[in-house]
Amino acid sequence: MICLDSGSMNYDQLWATTSLRGVASGVLKIHTLKESMHSGVGGGVVPDTFRVARILLDRIEDSVTGEVKIPEAHCEIPAHVLKANEVMSTIDYKGQYAFLPNVSAEATSSCELALRNCWKPSLTVVGANLPDCKIAGNVIRQETAVKLSLRTPPIVDANKACDAMHKILVANPPYGAHVEFVPDACGSGCATPELAPWLSRALEEGSKLAFNKTYGCMGMGGSIPFIGMLIQTYPKAQFVVTGVLGPKSNAHGPDEFLHIPYVKGVTLGVARVLGDHFVHTPKA
């Protein structure tokens, strides 16, 4: 199976995407009052719903390190993945992101950043029902709602991770606040089977032919759902997931671009894989 919807870490070699993370999301809602009230009247008496939300979020994520505290959201990283990840030591992993000056990444090592991005869970608050700062008044709001997006490692069951997150968030709510968690879309990630020797050789030779450099393996922090479906449908198949979305290509953005020399190199590398596949396919 060949998928050309992925990307690369640089434009100097062929890259094979071997894993994609999943996602478990939902909306956390906290209520404390029948109606909102003036903060001067209720402040110090009525627990602020946003503070209750912070307390609950601290149950599932270390706010200092970003480490997710949900056991069901973690997995053991396979040895061959750790070995392949060593190539990231040659990559400026942080450099592919539009950091402002003096802002640091969550780790200093490119190898560790790659593992955090592709094989470890991460939590993001992607929405909230807070009023715009321009119109916000001195009010204790009766409700705070935040939408959570939990990225899960490739071989973690996203539904189980979501169920675990649900149980942790609603158990024994602070101040007896009314807390609910409404799960949203969940989808597990996937990891392609370890490359067969013939395919690894084909990728290496194709990459050297096109770029004079061996290929690299990478994971993706996002998802391509149909890859997981294909892996489940054809468990004995080999997969080459690659593409041309390299650094600063800004897919779907207003300044999206293609690195034309790299496009030609990937085309040559994939053609070499197809040729070797023909040689290794049993003939009737």
Residue 29 lies in a domain: yes
96 phi/psi in degrees, rounded to 5: -85, -5
CA-based angle 14:20:22, to the nearest 5? 165
Q: Are residues 54 and 179 in the same domain?
A: yes
Between strands 240-245 and 143-152, the pairing is: unpaired
pLDDT average, residue stretch 194-220: 94
Q: Are 6 and 239 in contact (CB under 8 A)?
A: no
CB contact burial 150-163 (16+ within 10 A = b; e otherwise): bbbbbbbbbbbbbe
The H-assigned helical ranges of 29-120 are 39-42, 49-60, 79-84, 110-118
Q: Are residues 55 and 183 in the same domain?
A: yes
pLDDT tens digits for range 26-56: 999 999 999 999 999 999 999 999 999 999 9
Would you list the DSSP string of 242-268? EEEE-TT--TTSTT----HHHHHHHHH
Residue 94 lies in a domain: no
CATH number at residue 48: 3.30.70.360
CATH number at residue 8: 3.40.630.10
Nearest-10 crossing angle of helices 260-280, 197-211 = 150
Q: Are residues 52 and 145 in the same domain?
A: yes
Question: If you average pLDDT over every residue of the chain, what do you get?
Answer: 94
pLDDT tens digits for range 147-185: 999 999 999 999 999 999 999 999 999 999 999 999 998
pLDDT tens digits for range 6-20: 999 999 999 999 999
What is the predicted pLDDT for the residue at 262? 96
- Is pLDDT at 63 greater than 90 in this prediction? yes
Q: Are residues 37 and 159 in the same domain?
A: yes
Q: Are residues 56 and 147 in the same domain?
A: yes
Q: Are residues 31 and 147 in the same domain?
A: yes
Q: Are residues 228 and 145 in the same domain?
A: no
Nearest to 243 by CA among 212, 221, 220, 214: 220
Q: Are residues 170 and 196 in the same domain?
A: no
Number of domains in the chain: 2
Please state, in angstroms and rounded to a whole number, the distance separating the CA atoms of residues 277 and 268. Answer: 14
Q: Are 18 and 217 in contact (CB under 8 A)?
A: yes
Q: Are residues 184 and 137 in the same domain?
A: yes
| Domain span at 133 | 22-75+119-188
Q: Are residues 153 and 184 in the same domain?
A: yes
The first and second tokens of residue 244, run together, are 């041309």
The first and second tokens of residue 11, run together, are 């434009």
The first and second tokens of residue 185, run together, are 């879309």
Q: Are residues 52 and 66 in the same domain?
A: yes
What is the predicted pLDDT for the residue at 284? 67
Please identify, among 188, 218, 249, the residue that sits at the C-terminal boundary of a domain.
188
Q: Are residues 147 and 275 in the same domain?
A: no
Residue 53 lies in a domain: yes
Which pTM was predicted?
0.89
For residue 5, how far is the Cα from the chain centroid? 16
What is the predicted pLDDT for the residue at 34? 95
